[in-house]
Chains A and B, each alone.
Chain A
């Protein structure tokens, strides 16, 4: 008996839900992200704020949908299907796994990805200049050359650079490969420490002690979550820690020439707005972050055994004052 009731309930609720309808001249933007995380959340906020500034206000002429997949691929797939089924004007996919599953589901709906480091490897676009289909977006590829420049400006004699990364994160692996290549081109050596989860970051950082002159952290999500651990190792062993994003400088890294994900989100939002106004994703080149800010933390530098030059501090957009 209870079995029958269960079946009837299920059927009835599905039917009831099918009766909801939506209004017509509102633009619909659906945002999906793979997991909740400060960087990805900031990007999400950036998209919303940029759209608002360009005249698309939620509740008035814009309907926003948002779902997070809680790190689960199957849910990401169902979210993608759900969004495609709603026929939005644009789908925004934050992070590679979400972008891929949306790409597989959405054939004609414009898709703008955000926080995807290597869209070519992820097979989301044909080329950086001409994506070729319905997908384009903003890549958070790091300006590695500029970062190495900064590092060498502060520590010209550094020969061995260490880094901690999660070999299970696609973005991180792509960055590490690039980093290795670019450092080698300058005659520098890359020493890697692997951490598959945040609890392993401390151990990985410690494994670098005695083998490196400086540590450089990419935007690897796992490592950024545990940045303090790397900073503490840097301070204790007097190894300067450089970062790729500005927020980590506030948490104790010496310097970074970076962007923040909020701005990344705003840049994404700008692309969404252009598509809403009629632009074709196939011809919109994939963008990278142009605007870079120099953040420095001289006190942290002191603790890690180096003194930042007056020049550098003057060039900085922001000088972090930390006492600890």
Chain B
């Protein structure tokens, strides 16, 4: 029994993690750069937005700064990899670890409450036609849609194509005059900028920025990405991006459902197992689908 509020709650969290999935799409899929920085850039975005909002900044500007902070974090990881030749995965772990201390410094304390502050959501609560729990879903849906369209246009542009080539075949990209090092730095920065955005929005809807908010973001992001790809084959950039959001929403719905399925005896502590099962299914099912299709088409012949 998924109450309306729980359903909207899943949508809201799903849309936020959809932004995270966009970021992971750029690093893992487009650039072939396993990037764990997100576990640090998500709370960094939350921290920067929270500190600025409490200091009186306009919440949208504060959120914008959170994006820039995320981009800086991503750039650090990429520079460690491109300029210092540190393995990409390792570089991202280094940045992620460093960010824990950075986030504490930024916030000054491990938990910054936003409950009584003006956030990006506040003006929307006054709207007559939207109920309280629907506000965040509508706003985040708009943000997700705008991000999706901008990302799509970007990936189709000359620079975006150059970025895709960098991830697909770096040697060939260089032969075509593409500065692959710069592309990687820009791409990983962009990716973490999106994750910073997600963190900032999450803190504002949650009521607080907490330094432990980032734990497990990479897993949720990957589960969303892979799950979405299982449902929508990412044969084009648009499909891949839509898959990110759909995957994130499905994952959160599955969790909401698991939380409500008392009849199955599932509890929140089973969630890690459920995540593992979902991701496994998501990886295996496309293969099963191909086998079944082949089986059937052979039969026809």
Contact = CB atoms under 8 A, between A and B. Distances in A.
Contact of A85 (B3, B213, B267): B3
B210 interface: yes
| Contact-residue bracket for chain A | 35 or more
Contacts of B263: 20
Interface in B1-15: 1-10, 12-13
The majority secondary structure among interface residues of chain A is helix
A81 B9 contact: yes
Interface residues of B, number: 59
Interface of B: 1-10, 12-13, 17, 100, 104, 109-111, 113-116, 132-133, 202, 205-208, 210-213, 215-216, 220, 230-231, 250, 252-257, 259-261, 263, 267-269, 271-272, 285, 288-289, 292-293
A2 B133 contact: no
Interface in A169-217: 169-170, 173-174, 196
Nearest to A82: B6
Contacts of B17: 74
Interface of A: 1-3, 6-7, 10, 13-14, 17-20, 36, 67-75, 77-82, 84-86, 96-97, 100-101, 103-105, 107, 121-124, 167-170, 173-174, 196
Contact of B261 (A17, A78, A97): A17
Contacts, number: 159
B6 A78 contact: yes
A303 B138 CA distance: 63
Contacts of B3: 82, 85-86
Contacts of B220: 74
A9 B143 CA distance: 30
Contact of B207 (A70, A74, A103, A173): A103
Nearest to A19: B1
Contact of B115 (A2, A67, A104): A104
Contact of A104 (B205, B215, B252, B256): B205
A20 B250 CA distance: 22
